Amino acid sequence: MMSATSRNAFSFPMLVSGFIAVLVGYSSTAALIFQAAQAAGASPEQIGGWLSMLGIGMGLASFGLSVWTRMPILAAWSTPGAALLATSVQGLTLNEVVGVFVATNALIVLSGVTGLFARLMNHIPQSLAAAMLAGILLRFGIGTFTGLQGNFALCGSMCLVWLLSRRWLPRYAIILALIAGVLVAVGQQAIHFPPHALTLSLPEFIMPQFNLAALIGVGLPYFLVTMASQNAPGIATLQAHGYQPPVSALTGWTGFIALVLSPFGGFSVCIAAITAAICMGDDVDADPKRRWMASAIAGIFYLLTGFTGALIAILLSALPPVLIATLAGLALLATLSGSLQRALVEPEHRDSAIIAFLITASGVSLLGIGSAFWGLIGGMITHLVLSQRPRA
């Protein structure tokens, strides 16, 4: 029987998973943060402060919520929200943009306090949540190997090292693949730091100003995109792995942290989906009840990025995109296969699950909302229609 000490002790795979989750999170979408901040009129020093606040906010949420719930709760910024901001805030002052942050995060807190979001998520069958997650992860699985065409040496060496490690050193497969990729990238001189002159600077308080047109034209779409394309997939990811998270509490606390940090540029703290899945697989720990430690460790890494003035985030974003894509795909292969298995295990749900999977995987965006949301909607409509069929 496992002792209490061993149950509470973290392992090397947990450490690696937490690090990889932060690495993928920062490296894959950090450019969007620069674009959104620049579009809002932030100076280079302010952008450094924004990244610091994001790291601190995601670190506090990831560590605190994981320890509290004993579930692998990982926080992230709203990637679709950042993309929307980067293209929607032109013409607004920096104070008005911060006002949008404050109002949007207040709405997220309200949705958590009222429990409306939780009631909606409770009506989603587990097979649909798993199908949606599989659809999200499909492009990452495909991305594992598409790099072979553009950079065979880098992608091929990582895949080979991962395969051999899975045969003889399965606990270290991902970290060894990362090391192999970094060594090849150094040899290819493919590590490039972004041309952003960030310096160590304290976050700057920016007084919010509330512009009604901006709140309706930018804030409301930002709220809807964040809830539908970030928080909903994040909750569904947890449910697809067999967890029953306190949806209202998670929504309320992540929104509250973002609300407090909004005047300092911490525009978004949400529930992660893709990076969180890295902390939920069997490779992290055989016992699902112990995997929360991986996301708690990720929270510590996030805090490090925040307290170092976002310099670690810049280091991570210097790695070549093919390395990050291959690493993310390898880290998520087990989660992808498990999600597909759970989505299709029940014959009566297979039609609705495959619809949810295909719509999500298609990448279609309607009304500014991403495919994960529409995958859930399509799957739910199919489920509701077919569940009314007369029995043979």
Which phi and psi (to 5°) does residue 366 adopt?
Answer: -125, 135
* 289/71 Cα distance (integer angstroms): 7
- With residue 270 as reference, give the H or E element that holds it: strand 270-271
* SS3 state at 88: helix
At 40 the three-state DSSP class reads: coil
Other Cβ atoms within 10 Å of 388 Cβ, number: 7
2: confidence class by pLDDT, cuts 50, 70, 90:
very low
Q: 137, 339 in Cβ contact below 8 A?
A: yes
* SS3 (DSSP) at 54: helix
pLDDT, one tens digit per residue, over 295-351 is 999 999 999 888 876 666 666 667 888 888 888 788 878 778 888 888 898 888 899
At 5, the pLDDT band (50, 70, 90 cuts) reads very low
Burial of 1 (0-12, 13-18, 19+ CB in 10 A): exposed
pLDDT tens digits for 28-41?
666 667 767 877 88
Task: For the chain, give every domain's residue range.
Answer: 12-149+188-328
Structural tokens at position 322: 């093919």
Is the model's pLDDT at 362 over the cut of 50?
yes
Distances (CA, A) of 356 to 44, 45, 272: 41, 43, 19
- Asked whether residue 169 carries a pLDDT value surpassing 90, the answer given is no
